[in-house]
Amino acid sequence: MTAKEEILQSLRDATGLQLSDDHLTILIASAVVFLTALFVWALTPRKAKRKYALDPESWTKFQMVKKEHVSHNSRRFRFALQTEETILGLPIGQHISIQGVDEEGKEFSRPYTPTTLDDDVGHFELVIKVYPQGKMSQCLEKLSVGTYVPFKGPKGRFTYTSGQVREFGMLAGGTGITPMFQVLKFILKDPSDNTKVKLIYANISLGDILLKDELDSFAKLHPNKFSIYYVLNDPPPGWTGGVGFVSADMIKAHLPAPAEDVKILRCGPPPMNKAMAAHLDALGYSKEMQFQF
């Protein structure tokens, strides 16, 4: 009995079917086609599925791996994601919630915007001011490196696509700079994004300005796309920026004029947000031209 006859007989015994030489030829051809397709599939490069760390429905714990003093009352916290390839998965201009536990053992949460982008794989960073009466900032200040902290997100109404406006005007106060910083960083890293940004950033003193080195660097590297005007309540001697509270005249001088392709973003303490909304309304910016984080 030949090898071919042995194969046919084995198939007949296994299936109970009366198979002919033609059947065997078809089976062999089909097997060759299948194996060839499988081989090609195995060698074809495939884009790895992006892994996102955040879950909007449940709390996920991330380990604090670094805590840095940025100024007398601000800290930069770095948190590691699940792996070095994991992406946070936070849309530009949106925020995450942090869960803390107060002195009575009760859980509470606060929203924060990371200063990093999804390009920064494997980790994210928060820049936070530590206030004496700040419930969450005091909670984070007391935590040691290595502690796991619960997060949830993303959250927020802001969406951004390249070219959606010709120019952004930004009004930020204190820690309200963080969502602005994220949007700004995203725009400036893309050479094909021609959106211009003008920022007014208000603080009490020079030492209170968050991310000043980064902002000044952005303005120096991208003079045709970004400009910044600082306003201080308590300026040092020789200060050349704005003094006092942000006024309508400052907005008129340093932000883009009202137009359909302009949007003014604002984020700061509630009294500032209220005052800025009144200034913008008086200057002719429609509701569609304004957005508050």
User: What residues are designated binding site for FAD?
Assistant: 110-112, 127, 129, 135-137, 178
Q: Alpha carbon of 55 to those of 52, 87, 121, 157, 278: distances in Å?
A: 8, 12, 17, 17, 37
112 is catalytic: yes
Out of 95, 123, 254, 279, the active site residue is 95
Helix (H) or strand (E) segment spanning residue 64:
strand 60-71
95 is catalytic: yes
Q: Is the peptide bond before 269 cis (omega within 30 degrees of 0)?
A: no
**Pure H helices in 155-205:** 177-188
**What does the alpha-carbon distance between residue 284 and residue 83 come to, in Å, rounded to a whole number?**
49
**What does the alpha-carbon distance between residue 156 and residue 265 come to, in Å, rounded to a whole number?**
14
Strand partners, 112: 96
Nearest alpha carbon to residue 128 among 175, 176, 95, 79: 175
In whole angstroms, what separates CA 58 from the centre of its chain? 19
Q: Alpha carbon of 90 to those of 176, 192, 291: distances in Å?
A: 18, 22, 19
Q: Which residues are annotated as a binding site?
A: 110-112, 127, 129, 135-137, 178
Out of 123, 175, 267, 285, the active site residue is 267
113 is catalytic: yes
Beta strands 167-173 and 262-267: pairing type? parallel
Out of 86, 113, 115, 116, the active site residue is 113
Beta strands 196-203 and 60-71: pairing type? unpaired
Out of 86, 112, 115, 195, the active site residue is 112
Residues 6+ apart with CB under 8 A from 133: none
Apex CA 224: angle with CA 221 and CA 229, to 5°?
80
25 is catalytic: no
Positions marked active-site: 95, 112-113, 267
